[in-house]
Amino acid sequence: MNNILGIVAEYNPFHNGHFHHLIQSKKITNSDYSIVVMSGNFTQRGDVSIVDKWTKAQMAIENGIDLVLELPTLYTLSSAENFASGAIKILDSLGIVDYISFGSECNNISILDDIANVLAYEPSEYKTLLSHELARGVSFPKARERALMMYLNDVRRFANILSTPNNILGVEYLKSLKRQKSNIQPITIKREGSGYNDGAIPVDSRFASGSSIRNICQSAFDISLLQKFMPEPSYNLLEDSIKNGNVVKSISDFDKIILYSLRKMSTDEISNLPDVSEGLEFAIKSAANKCNSISELLSIINTKRYTQTRLQRILLYAILGITKKDMEISKKITPYIRVLGFNEKGKYLLSEITKANPKLNIITSVKKFIDSNNNKNLDLMLSKDIWATNVYTLGYEYGSFANLDFTHKLIIANGSGFKWQ
């Protein structure tokens, strides 16, 4: 078999930058096959996906991805470390992936690998520096960046590397590969276009960030200007979703659900949400009792100790019923392989995966898996995915249906086009 490329992505939505990354990665690795591990209906930064996971899977397949697997919600809504660890667990467990390619701002695998070596093995001197920085009361990402700068002692080489999101995730992928002793070879491709948080639409480029595309969807009646920044299949699917009212534009669409959940919870229950510590539960409870929106709540509880991304994930934990125990379980197990869609080459990949690892838990039917599975931890993980979909569709303008994980068909592309199966 020729080389097989693995990618971890959110595709929120699939745009020209993603297409560029796929084409360049396949070219550099000489890969004829591609597998993506993709976040579902929510994202790592504590936000919603603008379209559902099946629509994102169809976007990916129509643009050249062969097999789309879902990254379970417990990994998706997690720190960069656990997000990357879960994705690498899945890719490595397949037993057939040769390369992983990720985008980065620095486009330097050597620099990222030097940082990953420190984080993977955590020498005592680095841990002491990190503890010292955390004691200053800054957020963990900032404390880690400062500790690394002091430990590596080369400001010119490493300055600002961990201040951009794709570099951070790249380091975490490399760290996970090391810790899991994976044979998958990493490469990085320079991220094209505006930064992740840049909400402006560029004038003289065909590359726009996912944030800027989502901003247009939130504010504009006419999204036709996005045709310049998205492959035609992606644009058409996004346009159809908007026309059908099947988009969720922001976490603010869940304002009342989140506030209801927090007001109903005790401070003890809030303290049991992942990432809640140092009395944050009292601040959250107090703010929830007097705020009328998520943006207002975040403005009250936002501190230098907690990034907005971390706080938004906490709010989503509340409505998705995710606890600290759930998150700890996710760190200790090998997840299932949840198939969302594939083309003819992807169908072949599934057969090769089964040959390489016959005991792998591959899900093509949720009901059949639940009926036959005896692993309580995998049941728990899957239940969070099911509930995440049920909550997500409440953000639709209309047509909100529950239990889509049981009823939605796999997305399958054959030689004559797409079909639901």
17 CB-side CA count, 13 A: 28
- Tell which residue, 29, 27, 34, 32, has the closest CA to residue 8: 34
Residue with tokens 């990034």: 307
Q: What is the pLDDT of residue 194?
A: 55
Q: Is 80 exceeded by the pLDDT of residue 9?
A: yes
Q: Where are the domains of the chain?
A: 3-105+334-420, 119-163, 252-328
Q: What is the pLDDT of residue 261?
A: 98
148 CB-side CA count, 13 A: 28
- Tell which residue, 284, 307, 281, 279, has the closest CA to residue 294: 284
Q: Are 330 and 66 in contact (CB under 8 A)?
A: no
**What is the DSSP secondary structure assignment for residue 269, as one 8-state letter?**
H
Three-state SS string over 338-387 comes to EEEEECHHHHHHHHHHHHHCCCCCEECCHHHHHHHCCCHHHHHHHHHHHH
How far apart CA 363 and CA 383 sit, in angstroms, is 13
For residue 333, the tally of other CB atoms under 10 A from its CB is 15
Alpha helices (H) in 103-186, listed in sequence order: 109-121, 124-134, 140-152, 155-158, 165-179
- For residues 419 and 72, the model is more confident at 72
For residue 290, the tally of other CB atoms under 10 A from its CB is 9
Mean pLDDT confidence for 86-104: 97
Type of residue numbered 370: I
156 phi/psi in degrees, rounded to 5: -60, -40
pLDDT band for position 305 (50/70/90)?
confident
For residue 380, the tally of other CB atoms under 10 A from its CB is 15
Q: Is 50 exceeded by the pLDDT of residue 359?
A: yes
Using DSSP's 3-state secondary structure scheme, residue 33 falls into: strand
> At 240, which helix (H) or strand (E)?
helix 232-243
pLDDT band for position 415 (50/70/90)?
low
Q: What is the pLDDT of residue 295?
A: 94
**What is the DSSP secondary structure assignment for residue 162, as one 8-state letter?**
G
Buried b (16+ CB within 10 A) or exposed e, 235-244: bebbbebbee
How far apart CA 171 and CA 282 sit, in angstroms, is 34
**What is the DSSP secondary structure assignment for residue 189, as one 8-state letter?**
E
Fold of 3-105+334-420: Rossmann fold (3.40.50)
- Residues 6 or more apart from 1 whose CB is under 8 A from it? 33, 96, 352
Q: What's the pLDDT tens digit per position in 236-256?
A: 999 999 999 999 999 999 999
Tell me the CA distances in angstroms from 17 to 24, 202, 209, 244, 330, one per residue in order. Answer: 11, 13, 8, 26, 30
How far apart CA 284 and CA 43 sit, in angstroms, is 21
Q: Are 74 and 330 in contact (CB under 8 A)?
A: yes
Which of 95-104, 206-215, 411-420 has the least mean pLDDT? 411-420
Sign for the CA dihedral angle at 392, 396, 400, 405 comes to negative
Q: What's the pLDDT tens digit per position in 119-153?
A: 999 999 999 999 999 999 888 888 999 999 999 98
Percent of the chain with pLDDT over 70: 95
Q: What is the pLDDT of residue 418?
A: 47
Residue with tokens 């909100």: 400
Q: What is the pLDDT of residue 368?
A: 97
Q: What is the pLDDT of residue 73?
A: 98
How far apart CA 307 and CA 81 sit, in angstroms, is 15
Pairing of strands 411-414, 337-342: parallel
**What is the DSSP secondary structure assignment for residue 335, as one 8-state letter?**
P
